[in-house]
Every structure is written in C-alpha cells, then in structure tokens.
Amino acid sequence: METVVNGLKTTMLLAALTALFMALGFTFGGTGGALIALLVAAGMNLVTYWNADRIVLSMHGAKEVDAASAPDFYGLVAELAQRANLPMPKVYLVDSPNPNAFATGRDPEHAAVAATTGLLAMLTREEVAGVMAHELGHVRNRDTLIMTMVATIAGAISMIANFGLFFGGNRGNGNAVAGLLAVFLAPFAAMIVQMAISRTREYGADRAGAEISGNPAALASALAKISGAARRIPNQFAERNPAAAQLYIVPVGLSEMFSTHPATEKRIAALNAMAPGRPLQKRPSALDPLNRSDF
C-alpha cells in the first residue's frame, strides 16, 4: 500500500515539475514555447526511462563486478537481493575515496547498485550489508527511476531559466518581469519538489534496508561513519553533476536546508527506534569481515 501511495505522490510531483517546465517555455516563447517545452520534457522522460542506469553509471565511471572479480561484495549483494525477493541487480564499484553508494535503473528487473571503494574500505561487512540493503530498498520501492527523471528535468529547468535571463527580456516590461521571476523562482521550486521526493523516500529506504539486512543498528552505524567523511572528502562526480547528489545514501557537501536528504541524525534516530537496545535478528553470514583483496 505504501508503495502505491508513494507512486501516486511521485506521479503528481513529476506532473507538477513538467508543468513548471511548460510554464517556463510559455514565459519565454508563448504557446509555441510551452508546446516545445512539453515535447522536450516528454522526450527527456522517455530517454531517461530507457537509459537511467547507463546515464548514472557512466557519469560515475562505474565498473561492473561479478562473482569472479569481487566474490565477497557480489555475494553479499546477492544474499541481500534474495532476502528482499528481488531479481539480482547488476553490481558496480566506483573508484572514489568518498564513501557512498547509490542505486539506479528503471525497475527491479533492470536495476543496478554501486558502492565506492572508499565506502568498502571504511565499513565492516555488517555495515556494508546495511548500506546495500538500503539501496535495494530504493529498488524495491521503485524509487530509482523517478529520482533520476526528476533530477534530469530539474536540471533542464535551471538551464532554460538561465537561458531566459539573457534572451527572454526583450518582449516588453511585463514579460521581462515575468521572465525574471521565472529565472529566480522556477529553479527554487524545482529544487523543493526534488527535495520532497527524495527526503520522503530516504526514510522509506532506511526502513526497507533495516528489514532486508535484519540489523537497523548496523545501518545506523554506517550512516554515522560515512556522513562526516562524505562531506570532507571531495566527490568529483557530484561536483561535475550536482543533481547526482540526491542518489547517494548520504548528502554531499550541502547544508541540511538545501539537502535532498533528511538530517542524518534524524535517520539514525529513526533506525535506532526500530529496535531499541538491540538490533533485529542478525544473519550469521553478515558477521564475517569483507575480504578487502576483492577491491
């Protein structure tokens, strides 16, 4: 039921974002501009639907691994996917000291999960299991596609608004004022919609991750370890593509007000409340350390 409700909310938010994109087109080009904006938005949605995983993975220079190249990490993801009743996703490693992870793909049958080498070096196997279970929670809740689509449209809104700042002010004072308002308000509105989607979904993925891994305390511990490091250690991918920050398990270099995630402290408190005083039932295989030679 929760997945259905989230799906409806997401559809409404995505429709609002598309309407905002059309409004910008109308502001700068009248009816024709609105039509063009609608076609562009539809085209972006279609392209992103079929290529979301490729876009994100290529953006990060991710390398696919398997049971031969990274047996412990791949086996851990396979075990978690089985517990979650999900098809086995493709598994990737990103060569980056910034400790983070993300999931992408248009549906559970075409999903991919990735972790950075920095994350695997920093966490215990139990904590890595919690993080990857969180990412599989995004896959199970069908978050990955819509978050990528929203990031794409939000980026396009900012681009067209900036374009309008330089070329949209020559159609009279009224249109010039409307253009200036669109330039400053539209990207902010797009950011608010983007945050509304991502913040709600992070709590849902945390709950799902705790259930899949069977250990909310391990996920809480992982969040505590990597949240500070993720801000201190540069993330070249997020610096080049800021919209990618919403995909990570923890935010990158942003204040809480402008973050696409809830405050990490609030997420940790919610996880600890799931099993006060002790973690949920642990799985024996999650207690062994990861074989660092895999990475």
Quote the CA–CA distance of 111 and 53 in Å, as a whole number: 7
Going from the C-alpha of 262 to that of each of 99, 197, 199, 202, 255, the distances in angstroms are: 18, 11, 5, 7, 11
- Catalytic (active site) residue 211: no
Amino acid type, 237: F
CB neighbours (10 Å) of residue 248?
Answer: 23
What torsion, rounded to 10 degrees, do the Cα atoms 204, 72, 101, 119 define?
A: 120
- Residue 51 CB contacts under 8 Å (≥ 6 apart), including other chains: none
DSSP 44-75: HHHHHHHHHHHHHHHHHT-EEE-TTTSHHHHH
CA angle 93, 197, 82 (to 5 degrees): 45
CB 18, CB 157: distance < 8 Å: no
* From 64, 135, 211, 256, active-site residue: 135
CB 267, CB 216: distance < 8 Å: no
Structure token digits, residue 35: 């039509």
Per DSSP, 276 falls in state T
* Beta strands per DSSP E along 30-188: 63-65, 90-94, 101-105, 111-116
Catalytic residues: 135
